[in-house]
Copies of this chain bind each other. A is one copy, B any other.
Amino acid sequence: MAPAATSEHTPLDPFDLPEGHPFGAHNLPYGVFSPAGQEPRVGVRLGDHVLDAGAVAAALGSPYGTLLARPNLNPLLAAGRTAWSDVRRALTGWVTVPAHRETVRAHLHPLDSVALHLPFEVADYVDFYASENHASNLGRLFRPDEEPLKPNWKHLPVGYHGRAGTVVVSGTDVVRPSGQRKAPSDPAPVFGPSVRLDIETEVGYVVGTPSAQGTSVPLAGYRDHVFGICLLNDWSARDIQNWETVPLGPHLGKSFATSVSAWITPLDALDAARVAAPERTVPLLPYLDDSAPDAEPAGYDLRITVSLNGEVVSEPPFSGMYWTGAQMLAHMTVNGASLRTGDLYGSGTISGTEENERGSLIEMTWNGTRPLKLSDGVERGFLEDGDVVTLSAWAPGPGGTRVGLGEVTGRIVPAPVAP
């Protein structure tokens, strides 16, 4: 649970938001909140407020009260695409039809008066590696004598399972992990707090509708199974990861914490942001081939900002991702692996072609050799204790509006002293 914000500014009138406000009635992302001293429940963000969705549904005699008056989003996620659309239509009506205004107002809470919680119980967590620029940068850094991309990279979205139990909501402190590391010059591994703690700027996809083991979900099943997206920071201890990673991939370098934004933006709020994926440079097998002229675009034009201690250090563009969320889902299930409500999968680090579009410090600083120059002469190769990293984003909305995705933020706290 993230502590309630402490700023005391006067929240905007939710029924008179400035034009184009990123959390207007065109957005309505879902989260879980608790007013002081009360139990967590599902909320919907409107401007600087959160609407108690189950309470307003009950007050208005809506049949969706039972889906919404819950401590997390899982029942809504499990209800499926038709219910998601119906509930969103109902919510849109409640917050826009003047006759409901006083009822809605009675169930609004200023955002800075509530605590925000992990919005859903995470079932399985898979992390992909879908940015060609990121995968190429890491290839150049770690395997300078080889082709930057492995031979499989353009044939399938490479991914691996992460630790679902350490996914935390934005605002949760991240304890610096300890572990083994070994530089090539070290005669043996040493143990201690990571000295190369990094971020990974990602988008997370939240699965609602489950699927049966032994079946697969085609590309066209994406919108039936995926409820929405969030921002995701896949904190990474590069030194721990580098030593452990052969031959079975990352483990403790990642498993200590993964942060997600408090707000899940439904796919239905992102229609205006959809973009086609980049042209493929190798032919895809049919189950991944999204080149049909009538295929729905499954990429998103998200404008992401990465801040370190309040200074913007990068603006990675999501629209250039090689693999889409629909392809990741089709690949993840093509072997018959089932989906469960609450499954989360991440895009992998988002990096653009430019130096100021990279989504991890290891890329921004080229493995620490070119430290970031922050204000007041401060430099950063990797994260120091006390550093605060914030990812925020918006997407183009209908009629020139913006759809806010909120933020995912976390502060690094020191490793515990070894016993």
Contacts and interface: CB of A to CB of B under 8 A. Distances in A.
A161 B255 contact: yes
A274 interface: no
Copies of this protein chain in the complex: 2
A337 interface: yes
B251 A160 contact: yes
A358 interface: no
A191 B285 contact: yes
A131 interface: no
Interface in A257-283: 257, 282-283
B257 A213 contact: yes
Given A160-B160, A338-B165, A189 B343 contact: no
A164 B124 contact: yes
Contacts of A250: 160, 248-249
A36 interface: no
Contacts of A335: 177-179, 237, 240, 252-253, 255-256
Contacts of A339: 165
B156 A337 contact: no
A265 B357 CA distance: 52
A134 to B, nearest CB: 12
A126 B250 CA distance: 12
B213 A164 contact: no
A372 interface: no
Contact of A248 (B160, B218, B416): B160
Contacts of A177: 335-336
A163 interface: yes
A251 B159 contact: yes
A159 B256 CA distance: 15
A262 B255 CA distance: 29
Interface string A146-179: 0000111001101111111110100000010111
Report the contact-size class of chain A (Cβ under 8 Å from the partner).
35 or more
A155 B188 contact: yes
Contact of A189 (B158, B244, B285): B285
Contact of A213 (B166, B216, B285, B332): B166
Given A150-B247, A152-B246, A248-B160, A165 B123 contact: yes
A15 interface: no
A331 interface: yes
Main secondary structure of the interface of A (DSSP, over half): loop
A283 B180 CA distance: 14
Highest count of chain B CB atoms <10 Å: which of A124, A168, A250: A124
A158 B251 CA distance: 8
Contacts of A155: 180, 182, 188-189
Contacts of A159: 248, 251
A419 interface: yes
Contacts of A168: 213
Contact of A252 (B123, B255, B337): B337
Highest count of chain B CB atoms <10 Å: which of A156, A251, A282: A251
Contacts of A61: none
Interface in A168-213: 168, 175, 177-180, 182, 188-189, 191, 213
Interface in A403-419: 415-416, 419
Contacts of A287: 191
Interface of A: 123-124, 126, 129, 150-152, 155-156, 158-166, 168, 175, 177-180, 182, 188-189, 191, 213-216, 218, 237, 240, 243-253, 255-257, 282-283, 285-287, 331-332, 334-340, 343, 415-416, 419
10 contacts: A124-B163, A158-B244, A158-B247, A160-B250, A161-B163, A165-B337, A166-B213, A247-B249, A248-B249, A336-B416
Given A158-B248, A179-B334, A191-B287, 10 more contacts: A123-B165, A124-B164, A150-B247, A152-B182, A161-B163, A165-B338, A166-B337, A175-B336, A213-B256, A252-B334
